[in-house]
């Protein structure tokens, strides 16, 4: 249990960083310093730790809601959802996980397209890191969408926590499958049907260069309706104005240590 909690915590932290983080461009590196500023050597920067943040960066809660839905032309509706709550308010993280999968026949009828002459190569998606949204379609009249939302709040939402279900859930029907799993490396929802496509949502924290968030749909057939929805909620500790001022001053003074004075 401890390994699973630690691995999942790393995964969601990397997922949050993928959505909020940024990288410096080559143009930024070549831009000259403003007048009166002096570039610090790496030896000085090496003595500094962290980065300056206004306010508290203490995480109280992290939540994930994943939902994947796939309406097929033959009337089958595949769905998988994962609800994860990680509560840090007690010091040690408390994780609750609820997986849900289903395959139902809506009675619409219809046929699946013959896709033996079609092909999609999604192998490169597995090697990507950060925030990745992928849609690959070879058929006609398909509607596919990936949506992601990140909410940063100051209070923990009501009604979180509670009991936790199994680490995985899976169902199959006539070659179609829906699976949701919680692993030490993250969370995943997968919908699949051979010769028609593959739908995935993953939060990965494996630490081997492919960590982050993946929303992917590869569709070979025709007349499919697919949606991937992912919502992440991050709650940071909210300080009163006096405490915020004291912490801001303390953090700024701490960042000045190691600077050379003329």
Residue 157 in any domain: the answer is yes
Distance CA 105, CA 69 (A): 13
| Contact of 48 with 258, CB cutoff 8 Å | yes
Per-residue pLDDT, 46: 62
53 pLDDT tier (thresholds 50, 70, 90): very low
Residue 20 in any domain: the answer is no
Residue 102 CB contacts under 8 Å (≥ 6 apart), including other chains: 77, 78, 79, 80, 171, 178
Residue 65 in any domain: the answer is yes
Residue 1 in any domain: the answer is no
Residue 12 in any domain: the answer is no
Q: Which two tokens stand for residue 24?
A: 């410096």
Residue 185 in any domain: the answer is yes
Per-residue pLDDT, 23: 46
Residue 211 CB contacts under 8 Å (≥ 6 apart), including other chains: 11, 14, 18, 129, 204, 205
Q: Taking residues 21-43, what's their average pLDDT?
A: 54
Per-residue pLDDT, 231: 94
Residue 231 CB contacts under 8 Å (≥ 6 apart), including other chains: 64, 65, 148, 149, 150, 151
Pick from 75-79, 127-131, 236-240, 245-249: least confident: 245-249
20 pLDDT tier (thresholds 50, 70, 90): low
Residue 156 in any domain: the answer is yes
Q: Which two tokens stand for residue 163?
A: 């009991």
Sign of CA dihedral 53, 58, 61, 66: positive
Structural domain boundaries, residue 214: 59-236
Compute how many other C-beta atoms are within 10 angstroms of the C-beta atom of residue 200. 22
**Average per-residue pLDDT for the chain:** 80
Distance CA 85, CA 63 (A): 5
Q: Is pLDDT above 50 for 98?
A: yes
Q: Taking residues 135-156, what's their average pLDDT?
A: 93
Q: Which two tokens stand for residue 55?
A: 């306010």
Reported as type and span, the H/E element at residue 229 is: strand 225-236
154 pLDDT tier (thresholds 50, 70, 90): confident
pLDDT per position as a tens digit, 206-237: 655 568 899 999 999 999 999 999 999 999 87
Residue 75 in any domain: the answer is yes
Q: How many domains does the chain have?
A: 1
In this prediction the pTM is 0.74
Q: Is pLDDT above 80 for 125?
A: yes
Block residue for tokens 């999609």: 120
Measuring CA to CA, how many Å separate 205 from each of 10, 98, 119, 150, 189? 6, 20, 30, 18, 15
């Amino acid at each position: 249990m401890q390994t699973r909690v630690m691995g999942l915590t790393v995964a969601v932290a990397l997922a949050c960083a993928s959505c909020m983080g940024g990288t410096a461009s080559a143009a930024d590196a070549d831009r000259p310093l403003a007048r009166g500023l002096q570039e610090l050597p790496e030896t000085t920067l090496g003595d500094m730790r962290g980065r300056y943040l206004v306010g508290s960066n203490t995480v109280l809660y992290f939540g994930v809601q994943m939902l994947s839905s796939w309406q097929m032309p033959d009337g089958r509706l595949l769905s998988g959802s994962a609800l994860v709550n990680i509560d840090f308010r007690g010091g040690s993280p408390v994780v609750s996980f609820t997986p849900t999968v289903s395959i139902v026949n809506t009675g619409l009828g219809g046929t699946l397209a013959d896709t033996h002459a079609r092909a999609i190569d999604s192998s490169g998606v597995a090697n990507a890191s950060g925030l990745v949204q992928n849609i690959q379609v070879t058929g006609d009249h398909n509607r596919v969408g990936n949506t992601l939302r990140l909410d940063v709040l100051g209070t923990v939402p009501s009604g979180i926590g509670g009991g936790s279900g199994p680490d995985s859930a899976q169902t199959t029907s006539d070659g179609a499958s829906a699976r949701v799993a919680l692993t030490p490396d993250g969370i995943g929802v997968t919908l699949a049907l051979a010769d028609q496509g593959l739908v995935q949502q993953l939060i990965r924290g494996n630490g081997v260069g492919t960590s982050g968030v993946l929303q992917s749909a590869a569709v070979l057939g025709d007349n499919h309706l697919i949606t991937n929805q992912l919502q992440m909620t991050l709650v940071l500790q909210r300080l009163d104005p006096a405490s915020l001022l004291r912490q801001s001053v303390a953090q700024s003074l701490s960042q000045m240590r190691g600077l050379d004075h003329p």
